[in-house]
Chain A
């Protein structure tokens, strides 16, 4: 969005209409990783995490401000019983290291943005 705004400033008012048209196109399903619909390309399992871990912290932590590395490490520790769990060990054991990495990367990028 900010990029679109910058483009219009650079190119001048004559292309404003085209810019907004392009912006509209970017929001269609043709844009597979659009921030507004990042769930479309989410790795298996990732979107379900947001049922408990919302954009804001509650008694349960938000994932929005964690790095991919932080999330991946936490999932690995729960998976390998190296961290004291209540529930997360039972979920983490359902995913391989590779799947967990993909989930961690996706969550780090999108957990705070209602993907």
Chain B
């Protein structure tokens, strides 16, 4: 509204055009080319914002649709269908974003161009890298692509989610579901524990003599006290968690016998879910934007990669300090990065951002818990703002847990609309 052109602006603009090329800076900015690699929560958010800022945006994403990881544990619990998790890029294309439905093969950061799978070359003024995660099939002995067809990871939603659900449905009552959880950092820190919860919900309803065993490579996890208390309250002894110091770290899997091997012993699964170690999506690694950790260090104000100028990394692939690898973080980073990049293309310094994360987990369909945080740049990272953040109250009536469960669903509806239209 503020900027709707008044008659004076119209005339001034016309005069300027007629006399001198004074508008050139605006035109130059408007034609600045931004390439976004990856159409998940981070990349799609950022692409839409940059397009609204008048920039020429190309989104490089080989998949015709995006299947959301948030709420995919509810698919495993039989509470939702995968189609409810699936979003297309139709709204983005309708808005005028150019979609390159092909894989990004290589980045030449010095020449500022991306090579696509068909050999075509996309030049850019700024590149947004939002490739999400890749499973490290070299990260756990015995766990390769073929093993994931027997012991699904289901950590990228899609066919893997459906496979794990079918296995749960086929399991006999009295079976044991084994979940191995990785060490930090990984996508969706509370995810393995929400998954255990919603699988237990399914089992309690359909196969009540069954068990869920979580073998964990760490001694503490997100929302731990809330999960632990709720498990006891809702599922009795059905869920057992074994942490690192109790011998929970899985060192090898044998897909043939569905066996999880730890330093302390062997656990045979009827259904096995390996949540393996992860790293930034392949393009970040092959282009050298990820460091030796497998993740991408960034400037906390601009999200520009420490490894190369002109390339900004957002979402799960980035090392975002205190911010967890969540969809909410990815969305918030997508917006803050779009703001920074737009201003940088205008030759202006971006302001120091503040970012928010909030993340709900379902322990049961009507039992939600949450974690939240506020972050700002400090000492070169995105650090927690002291005094803010934390998890849901330890003691709360059922009505509060039910409210948080309904907020979780509301959040999903709102954020997916914000990201995908």
Contact = CB atoms under 8 A, between A and B. Distances in A.
A53 B17 CA distance: 42
Contacts of B339: 39-40, 42, 47
Contacts of A29: 26, 29-30, 53-55, 342, 345-346
Most buried by B among A35, A48, A54, A99: A48
Interface in B344-399: 345-346, 351-356, 358, 370, 372-374, 376, 385, 387-390, 392
Interface size class of B (residues with CB under 8 A): 35 or more
A21 B14 contact: yes
Nearest to A110: B1
Most buried by B among A7, A48, A51: A51
Contact of A86 (B23, B345, B388, B403): B403
B205 interface: no
Contact of A91 (B1, B342, B356, B403): B356
Contacts of B5: 3-4, 7, 19, 22-23, 25-26
B355 A60 contact: no
B358 to A, nearest CB: 6
Given A37-B53, A40-B53, A94-B356, A51 B411 contact: yes
29 contacts: A18-B13, A18-B17, A22-B13, A25-B23, A26-B9, A29-B53, A29-B346, A30-B26, A32-B3, A33-B3, A35-B2, A40-B342, A42-B339, A44-B352, A45-B355, A48-B328, A48-B356, A51-B328, A52-B415, A58-B410, A58-B413, A59-B403, A59-B409, A60-B410, A86-B400, A90-B388, A93-B389, A94-B373, A114-B418
Given A3-B5, A37-B53, A53-B414, A86 B13 contact: no
Most buried by A among B3, B6, B332, B387: B3
Given A49-B356, A60-B414, A91-B372, A15 B14 contact: yes
Contact of B358 (A3, A33, A45, A87): A87
